[in-house]
Structure 1
Amino acid sequence: MKKDTQYDLQIAALSEKTHEYVFDLGTDFFEQFDQTLIPDGKLRADVVLDKTAQRIVLGIHIEGTVKLICDRSLDEFDQPIDVTHQLLVRFGDHEAELDDDVLQITPDTQTLPLAQHFFDYIGLAIPMKKLHPRFQDEPDENPDADAKLIYSTGAASDDDDDEDASDPRWNALRNLN
């Protein structure tokens, strides 16, 4: 990842109150990451920062579209994204990521980089199965609909018992006990 400071928040000089920020996430944002998941997009990230003496709470809302490649047709399409996350930043003696949504920073930290968090939140909002909108209304194919049971280790059903009783080979095997 290339370092781009336009997605960093200057937190050192902030007063203890609520602040609001807006970030535009476009082609230049996605180019700074070495990845192929999201080639391009046009999103807006609204960040509400609430600073207190002990912690910073960031409310992050990202809305817009990303360009994806359809898994079925390989056509490019726009996938709408609307995601809301909360990031908690607390002050401590060393910097650490305590959880996915909890960071610890030192009190003398000057900037808080948000680019990786934005990218992670967008990536989590992308569906596993990327389908072009023209395929999304089709019902999912159920591979088990016409499937025939070939082997089962479970208990036999009533139909299987009737077949076993009529086959003389099974009767001979049962008499071995």
Structure 2
Amino acid sequence: MKVLKEFTIPFVGLKIGKHHFEYKVEQSFFEHFEYEDFNDAHLEVAVEFEKKTTLLELHFKITGWVNVNCDVTNEPYNQTINNEFDLVVKFGEEYNDEYIDVLIVPHGTYEINIQQYIYELAILGVPVKRIHPGVEDGTLDSDILKKLEELSPKIKESKNTDEDIDPRWNTLKKLLTDK
């Protein structure tokens, strides 16, 4: 994976304390990762970078929308994304990213690239089941929805009478009333 330079933070020249970085992420960012589930994207990423003497702390906040296809009707719609993530960068002998929220980089490292974290944060901000808002509130007029309604099994309204009940269950009901 080729590194995108605009997502690289050179922290050696930064003073100890908090620093703020802002990024705009568009569809081309996801095309770089060869991710094709989004039709379009407009995200804003705010990174609060705190440099300490022995480690680095990063707080990511991503907001915006991505255009995805509904899982029910396949209609495109804008899904809002609002997600946050904290990352701690420590210095050690060798590079290690086994932990979810801790990154260990070798001593002498002078910059860190955050493109993978932004990518994962955006992907994980989208719900697993993507449903068009019009499907949920009933305002979407779609041929697919009409066909699904037509093919869905009809629920038969049963009369709660004893003649519809299997006689074997009547014996079991006596157990509930006998005490």
In which range does the TM-score fall when normalised by the shorter chain? Answer: 0.7 to 0.9
Matched residue type, 1:49: F
- Within-5 A mapping of 1:11-22: 11-22=11-22
Q: Percent identity?
A: 24
Q: Residue 98 of structure 2 aligns to a residue in which SS? A: strand
What is the TM-score of this pair, normalised by structure 2? 0.75
Alignment partners' CA distance in 2, 1:161 and 1:90: 69
Give distance in 2, aligned partners of 1:55 and 1:37.
36
RMSD: 2.5
> Following TM superposition, by how much is the alpha carbon of 1:161 offset from its aligned partner in structure 2, in angstroms?
6.3
Structure 1 segment 1-177 matched on structure 2, within 5 A = 1-137=1-137, 160=169, 162=171
Give per-residue Cα distances to partners, 1:104-162, cap 9 Å, x unaligned: 01231122111110111111111111111101336xxxx9xx69xxxxxxxxxx96362
Higher helix share goes to which structure? Answer: 2
Q: Point out where structure 1 has 5 or more consecutive residues left out of the alignment.
A: 148-157, 164-177
For 1:64 and 1:159, the matched residues in 2 are separated by 59
Distance in 1 between residues matched to 2:60 and 2:106, nearest whole Å: 22
- Relative to the length of structure 1, the TM-score reads 0.76
Q: Which structure 2 residue ranges, 5 or more long, are not aligned? A: 139-151, 157-166, 173-179
After superposition, give the CA deviation of every residue in 1:5-34 in whole Å (9 maximum; x if it has no partner).
Answer: 111111222221111000000122111111
Conservation of the 8 A alpha-carbon contact between 2:21 and 2:47 = yes
* SS in structure 2 at match of 1:25: strand
**Does the CA contact (< 8 Å) of 1:30 and 1:39 recur in 2?**
no
Residues matched between the structures, number: 149
Counterpart amino acid of residue 44 in structure 2: R
Structure 1 Cα separation of the partners of residues 130 and 118 of structure 2 = 20
Q: CA contact under 8 A between 1:81 and 1:122: conserved in structure 2?
A: yes
